[in-house]
Amino acid sequence: MIREIVPAEEILSKASAVGQYYGFMPLTTLAAKSRGSSKKNVGYPESLANITLDPTATVIANFLKQCRHIEPTPSARQPLFLWHTNIAPGRPAQKKAVVQFHALGTDRAIADTLIIRALIALTRDLYHEEPVVRINSMGDKETRARYARELGTFFKRRATDLPEECLLRAKCDAFDAAEFTIANEYTDDLPAPTDHLSDASRKRFEDLLEYLEMTETPYELAKNLLSRGNAWNDTCFELTVAGKRVAWGSRYNELTRHFFPSSSLSATGAVLTLASEGSIVKKTTPARVRFSFVHIGDEAKRISIRLAEDFRKARVPLTQYIGTESLTEQLGLAERDNNPYLLLMGRKEALEGSAILRNRATQVEQTLPLDSIIERLKSVA
């Protein structure tokens, strides 16, 4: 039986650990650094005033509202990987807990992969069940327009077979009619959006599937998983436990343009919701992190994604910056965190199956084989 209610303190603790090992910074950390700036929270942009958002898009819009005033501002040069929750130490526990993971400023497949991996780890911890990842792509505006026409043709062709409610909905909104048809299982032969992807969207989707496979991330294709165009674009995915959706994610460039109009900001995010319980959430002192894991190149990034869960399960006191491409930026983050040791992996080390451990105080280095790296790091810690 699926776990229905999880203590708020457990949710906060597990989300914090997953964020640390997968390279997501708490939004509260950046928000605290940005306090006292002259910028003020002025609510939603006017461009969103007449747009109806679904519940998950509303959660992400509230997240973006807070991101407008943090420093550094996310950009393609300096993407941000953030996690956030409505559970806060020292405050009453929420009956409905929300945990979010976001990648702002990058459209690379690693961003979607990291969010999916983090969600798998967190869902597994909180529900004590193995989640199923279902994934699809709705494509860009060009794709959606093409797909809408195909849906319209489908509903006209099937007018004698489908309930009248489907046909009435199709006259107003083909996507609404498709969702209604799927929810009620009226047919299993709806056109698939992936059959109508633009070249750019197809390339993005293929890149993601390749990255998921190369990082051994389990998933299944779900041609009936749809999203609406006023918030979402391209990839969409959900995590289910015992057939129940527990998390939803997608690229949401359509939302970011309202909050960051001066830049074309790519973004991917996901929201996990579950019932929680508790009174006042206790403040805890996090364990001292000892290692900053820095990696250069796709081979090293893919290995670090696979290693993240092993490090977390073994409780190696480590953090990493998987989504940050630049070595300089990663070293800057490591300098900020001020952990005693650096763990470095480049293409050479990735191919050899090793990593370099550097003592930041003495600059002494040693090479560690990956097949025994956890034991070696635990002995150092």
In terms of pTM, does the model score above 0.75?
A: yes
Q: How far apart are CA 29 and CA 235, in angstroms?
A: 28
| 269 and 331 both lie in a single domain | no
By residue range, what is the domain housing residue 187? 141-194
Asked whether residue 224 is assigned to any structural domain, the reply reads yes
Q: How far apart are CA 272 and CA 123, in angstroms?
A: 8
Return the pLDDT at 35. Answer: 61
Taking the CB of residue 89, how many other CB atoms lie within 10 A of it?
13
Asked whether residue 211 is assigned to any structural domain, the reply reads no
Return the pLDDT at 74. Answer: 82
CA distances from 201 to 103, 139, 208, 377 (A): 18, 5, 11, 41
How many domains does the structure of the chain reveal? Answer: 3
Q: How far apart are CA 243 and CA 76, in angstroms?
A: 37
Q: How far apart are CA 254 and CA 308, in angstroms?
A: 31
Return the pLDDT at 242. Answer: 93
Q: How far apart are CA 93 and CA 281, in angstroms?
A: 6
Q: Which of 218, 224, 223, 234 is nearest to 133 (CA)?
A: 218
| 155 and 257 both lie in a single domain | no
Return the pLDDT at 57. Answer: 94
- Assess contact for 125 and 14: CB atoms under 8 A: yes
| 223 and 357 both lie in a single domain | no
| 308 and 164 both lie in a single domain | no
| 227 and 110 both lie in a single domain | yes
Return the pLDDT at 77. Answer: 75
| 243 and 130 both lie in a single domain | yes
| 245 and 106 both lie in a single domain | yes
Q: For the chain, give the percent of residues with pLDDT over 90.
A: 79
| 108 and 221 both lie in a single domain | yes
What's the DSSP call for residue 107? -
Q: How far apart are CA 363 and CA 30, in angstroms?
A: 30
Asked whether residue 209 is assigned to any structural domain, the reply reads no
What are the residues facing 293 on neighbouring strands? 320, 343
Asked whether residue 283 is assigned to any structural domain, the reply reads no
Return the pLDDT at 38. Answer: 47
CATH code, domain with 246:
3.30.930.10
| 123 and 234 both lie in a single domain | yes
Q: How far apart are CA 367 and CA 349, in angstroms?
A: 9
| 35 and 130 both lie in a single domain | yes
CA distances from 356 to 85, 315, 377 (A): 34, 20, 11
| 81 and 14 both lie in a single domain | yes
pLDDT-flagged residues of the chain (< 50): 38
CATH code, domain with 328:
3.40.50.800
Return the pLDDT at 374. Answer: 96
Q: Which of 343, 250, 336, 340 is nearest to 303 (CA)?
A: 343
| 302 and 351 both lie in a single domain | yes
Asked whether residue 324 is assigned to any structural domain, the reply reads yes
Which tokens is 106 given? Answer: 């990058």
Start-to-end CA distance of the chain, whole Å, equals 39
Of 225, 245, 275, the last residue of a domain is 275
- Assess contact for 81 and 61: CB atoms under 8 A: no
